[in-house]
Structure formats: structure tokens, C-alpha cells
Amino acid sequence: MLVDAHCHLGDRAFEADRDAVLGRARAAGVAHVVVIGESLAGSERAVALARAMSGLSATAGVHPHDASSWSGEVEHRIRELLAAPEVVAVGETGLDYHYEHSPRDTQRRAFEAQLGLAAELGKPVVVHSREADDDMAAMLRTWGDRLPAVVLHSFSSGDAVWEAGMGVGAYFSFSGMITFKNWTMTDRLTGCPPARLLVETDAPYLAPVPHRGKRNEPAYVGEVAARAAALCGESLDALAQRTTANARACFGARLETVL
């Protein structure tokens, strides 16, 4: 049994065939999918999906790309969504200085507000970080002690974020990137504390080999797990058991419901 710790199942890429996608996930041994909210509308969709089905849970938050949309009203509604039992974490939030779809200071403000919500409500926070290592490391150090858990999703950051993440006991979630030929960070995967490793798809993005370039889907977390097991020198079964237990420890009892 596997958990896909990060999937944008509410994305319009799945509009036409979401049931079939979930059927294939179930057939591939995926027990649970964490459905990510990346905007207010996306969080509403994620929560609706998780309410309708066991084996799904949701997060609620605003992605750094959309940080400009953050406002008092958005915060109010995200806070309401976070009170639902199906909603297991704040996010995805964070900093993305590569695309900079929202200005950097706007991203920092929205991220900080969401870290504050997570601390106040006692929820884990799902973090996106790209080319913002120094600011991210500083924010993690400032907030880490006040958060029940931090998930560094699709981990591919440099030393500063790695060290800050290790310092706050973060979960490191690895995606299909670990199957790519140009993946060079195997030492991060093998150096990750055993109880802090998660696997994810980030579907519909980042499809693992041999599906690279196509739409990703939760069934393919199996490919990510197989590659992680090979790199860590353990059986797929052992890695699946370990990462599933880690996801449950991180996100809570909702993760025990199965597809």
C-alpha cells in the first residue's frame, strides 16, 4: 500500500476521467491520495473531492504563484476549510523565485500568514520551494518550532533548505524527479532520516520515467516508490510500508481511510 503525499487531483487535467484515474491508482496499490489546494478555488475543489470519497484527504492554502490573491477574505475562508476533518494540512504554500508569478515580498507575506495559520491551528504545512533557498531556510528556522510538521514537497533544494529542514525535523517528499536521468541528489534521498521520507507524484506534473512528458497520475507513485527503494537499497514493500506509516504520522488519522 502506498500514499501519494502530493497530488493536484482537482486540476482540470483530471476533469474528464477522474474516476478512471482513481481506479488505476487503487489497482496500483495506492491506498490514499493527499489532494493539494493551490488557490482558494483549488482548495474548495480539493475539500469537495475529499468529502466525497474515503481514501482522499485535502489541503487548503495558496501557492506562491498565486500569492497575490492572498487577502483577509481568502484567509478567513481557508481557515474555515482547515476546520474540516478531511483537511489535513495548510498548503501548498511557500516561495518560488524562479517563476516569480507573484512579487517576492507578496510571496513572503502570504507564506508567513499561512505558517501562522498552521501554527495557530496545529496543522502540518506543505511547502513549495524553488530558487528561494536563503529566505526559505530563514523562514523554516523562524517557524519550525511552532509547527507540528513541515513537508518539503518534491524536494530538490540546495544545502541551506536541506539543513534547515533537518533542523526542524521536516518530512522530505520525493517526486518523479528521482527517476529522471539528470537527477543528481541521490545523497539527499539516502540521507533522509528513515521516518521522514515521503513519496508523491505532484500529478498532473512531473510524471516519472517511463511516463515522463505525459500527464502524471497518482498510480505512478508506484514508479517513484520503486526508484526510491532501489536507491535506498531496500525492497519496494519495505519502502511502501515505511512511507505510508510516515504519511500517517505526518498528516494524521484521516490518512488511514483507503480508496
Q: Which of 234, 239, 196 is nearest to 221 (CA)?
A: 239
Residue 36 has what DSSP assignment? P
127 vs 229 by CB, closer to Zn ion: 127
Residue (153 or 196) nearer to Zn ion, CB: 153
User: Footprint of Zn ion on residues 127-166 (CB under 5 A)?
Assistant: none
Tell me if the bond preceding 204 is cis, omega within 30° of 0: yes
Q: How far is the CB of 56 from Zn ion (least distance, A)?
A: 16
Please work out the total of residues on this chain that contact Zn ion, with binding judged by CB under 5 A: 2
* 4 vs 202, beta carbon nearer Zn ion: 202
From residue 50 to residue 89, the character string flagging contacts with Zn ion as x (rule: CB under 5 A) and all else as - is ----------------------------------------
State the binding string over 88-107 for Zn ion (x if CB under 5 A, else -): ----x---------------
* Three-state SS sequence of 174-234: ECHHHHCCCCCCHHHHHHCCHHHEEECCCECCCCCCCCCCCCCCHHHHHHHHHHHHHHHCC
Closest CB to Zn ion among residues 42, 55? 42
Name the residue nearer to Zn ion (CB basis): 9 or 140: 9
Min CB(62)–Zn ion separation in Å:
12
CB of 65 to Zn ion, least distance (A): 10
Could you tell me which of 115, 134, 39 has the C-alpha nearest to residue 77?
39
Site for Zn ion in 169-228 (CB under 5 A): 202
Assigned C-alpha cell, 206: 512531473
DSSP 101-118: SS-HHHHHHHHHHHHHHH
Inter-axis angle of helices 159-167 and 133-143, to 10 degrees? 10
Which positions touch Zn ion (CB under 5 A)?
92, 202
